[in-house]
Amino acid sequence: MPNEPRRIVVTGMGAITPLGNDVQTFWDGLASGRSGAAPITRFDASNYDTKFACEVKNFNPHDFIDRKLSNRMDLFTQFGVAASDLAIKDSGLNLEQEDRNQIGVIYGSGIGGMWTYLKQQETLYETGGPHRISPFFVPMLISDICAGYISMRYGLKGPNYATTSACATGNNAIIDAVMLIERGNADIIVAGGTEAVVSPMGVGGFNAMKALSTRNDAPEKASRPFDKERDGFVIGEGAATLILEELNHAKNRGARIYAELAGFGLSADAYHITQPAPGGEGAVRSMKMAVSSAGMLPSDIDYINVHGTSTPLGDISESDAIKTAFGDHARKVAISSTKSMTGHLLGAAGAAEAVATVLALVNQQAPPTINYEFPDPACDLDYVPNVARNMKIDAAMSNGFGFGGHNATLVFKRFEE
């Protein structure tokens, strides 16, 4: 008989987010409907069309990383290492008793070290030319370096690399981790995503695309997915990590199991660099694949943590895609966009929202979509408006869609023997 498929469970989580720098504070912020948006403090944004963001607050890298080493890391790497440190501690892993050749790190970033590039470019042009560029410039910049640092920090010698697929990056990292564990290439993988682009070029670039909200008079009201008065997304930053583990390995070490990762879907729009395909066609295929690979029917999904960025086209497209993929069940499933509170964490979004989705299963509560005040007739589903909802959640989906037409969907379910 063929071997039984390897089941993958979540045994640890960590988060550095605009709502808090640990998983519990992150969840408390989501459950209470708190916005992480505020005026930008990382640089002088007075001349920018958008003057606010969802920044990580009160983060001290030296709480996690040696001062000398942290000074050689871009902020995105500091976030990712810190979130992974929290997740590994949360998992209860005793690495001295593990085969570290069987533990990998798949950790993505959509952009990488944007702050490092900016500062080193300033050095090049303002203080003396190319010989003043730091020898750490390239290692600090490259998007894979966070995965490398996490592996070196803990001596993890299994598969190790980064994923980059814009706003689907975190989901793709998790999906790659699942496939590697299923194939037996690892028993445990530290998976997630990180981003730190609340910077002059990051905000300026998205402003140039007319992608960001400019609701400067009320930042906390700016991220309003599916609301008729939405005017763009709110840029955010942070990192989130999940410890994904083969079920028998987790049970043998007595691990606490948060949830099972039951299925995933992947697709490409093959349509436009920034706009979704008409009717969300690529998203439809990704969601259908995820449900099918989990061995479920659409009616089995109780909650969807949607991509829901608060952009005019994107929110309509995702709503249409859910109607197509779920049929009659589309109007029965609870849907929320936690980006209404965290802003859009870009390459970290999928990982942060995976953590939120797992916590919805654990707490049997759907977090809200805040700032839902003026319903858009084109977005007419149940978006759990403004207040968290206690409800039965046995299976939950999380969507991540990225510039370039990348679609990646996860399905988690409550763990049963």
Q: Which of 54, 146, 249, 344 is catalytic?
A: 344
- Note if 131 is an active site residue: no
Residue 417 burial (10 A CB sphere; 0-12, 13-18, 19+): exposed
Asked if 118 and 270 touch (Cβ cutoff 8 Å), the reply is no
- Assess whether 406 carries a catalytic annotation: no
Q: Of the residues 146, 167, 249, 406, which is catalytic?
A: 167
- The torsion defined by the Cα of 69, 353, 407 and 306, in degrees rounded to 10, comes to -160
Q: What is the DSSP string of 183-251?
A: TTS-SEEEEEEEE---SHHHHHHHHHTT-B---TT-GGGT--TTBTT---B-BB-EEEEEEEEEHHHHH
Catalytic residue check, 344: yes
Main-chain phi, psi angles of 193, to 5 degrees: -150, 155
Residue 86: CA atoms inside 13 Å, Cβ hemisphere, count?
25
State the catalytic residue, choosing from 54, 146, 249, 307: 307
- Could you tell me which of 329, 332, 312, 326 has the C-alpha nearest to residue 379? 312
Q: Which two tokens stand for residue 21?
A: 């720098």
Residues annotated as catalytic are 167, 307, 344
